[in-house]
Amino acid sequence: MNNTVKTALLVFGIGILLLGSFAGGFVTGNLVPISLPGVVDESVPIAVPTTSPEQQAATPAELQNLFSPFWEAWNLVHENYVDQPVDDVALMRGAISGMMDALGDQHSSYMNPEDFEAANAGLEGEYEGIGAYVDTTTDYLTITSPIPGSPAERVGLLPGDQVIAIDGEDMTGTDAELARLKVLGPAGSTVILTVLREGESAPLEFTIVREKITIAAAS
């Protein structure tokens, strides 16, 4: 692979900014303060400065030069990838995810429209999951309170339990909001949570059958 192609692939996650939108998705993390914890509507223009003025392209010509490897990679994929046609939306979302990963911040990540809808489900009075209030501002998804009568309460989850693995997948370094989405799922399906609990010498494992959870309206 020549150096131009290598460069194109390396910057693939950056050039997506030229497409004008995030394909209906959202960005989670520390970019701007918003009403829904940890979620940013990508349709709202956001100016994010670079770490130094020298690193920021100042003119259209500089921007065109900066993103030219991206378009070269884009064209190479469309011309040479074996399984055509490629899914442009999937490429776009993958590029955004790569860009967010490049920040090196576990609290900043891309959320596609399907995941965003799932994240909002609990705000609408009813959702399918384990039935627990959680804190997503910590390093690990943390149980703050199981909902009375919920699967979470019945299996014995307690406030302060930190979810370190979901279905055997280590959550270290995973944004807690994304971990929360992994806990959600269709009623009747099973999720296995591995948690750290204060006072316990070893992690605890809970197998939980998800249910439809109704959140009582505040009085």
Collapsed DSSP state (helix, strand, coil) of residue 170:
strand
| In the predicted structure, residue 78 carries a pLDDT above the cut 70 | yes
Work out the mean pLDDT of the chain and round it to a whole number. Answer: 73
DSSP β-bridge partners for residue 192: 207
What local confidence, expressed as pLDDT, does residue 116 receive?
60
Residue 119 scores a pLDDT above 70: no
In a domain, 121, yes or no: no
Model confidence, pTM:
0.48
List beta partners, residue 132.
146
Backbone angles phi and psi of 105, in degrees to 5: -115, 115
- Neighbour-count burial of 22, counting CB atoms closer than 10 A to its CB (0-12 exposed, 13-18 middle, 19+ buried): buried
pLDDT (tens digit, 9 = 90+) per residue, 141-187?
999 989 899 999 999 999 999 999 999 999 998 888 889 889 988 99
Please check whether residues 19 and 97 belong to one and the same domain. Answer: yes
Number of domains the chain is built from: 2
Percentage of the chain with pLDDT > 90?
A: 26
Q: How long is the chain?
A: 219
Higher pLDDT residue, 219 or 202? 202
83 lies in the same domain as 183: no
Could you say which of 60, 93, 116 is where a domain stops?
Answer: 116
* Domain co-membership, 94 together with 9: yes
Task: Supply the range of the domain harboring residue 98.
Answer: 3-116
CB atoms within 10 A of CB 40: 20
Q: Is the peptide bond before 85 cis (omega within 30 degrees of 0)?
A: yes
Name the 3-class secondary structure at 204.
strand
Last residue of a domain, one of 116, 134, 154: 116
CATH of the domain at 146: 2.30.42.10
Do 103 and 134 sit in the same domain of this protein? no
**What's the pLDDT tens digit per position in 40-58?**
334 433 344 444 555 565 6
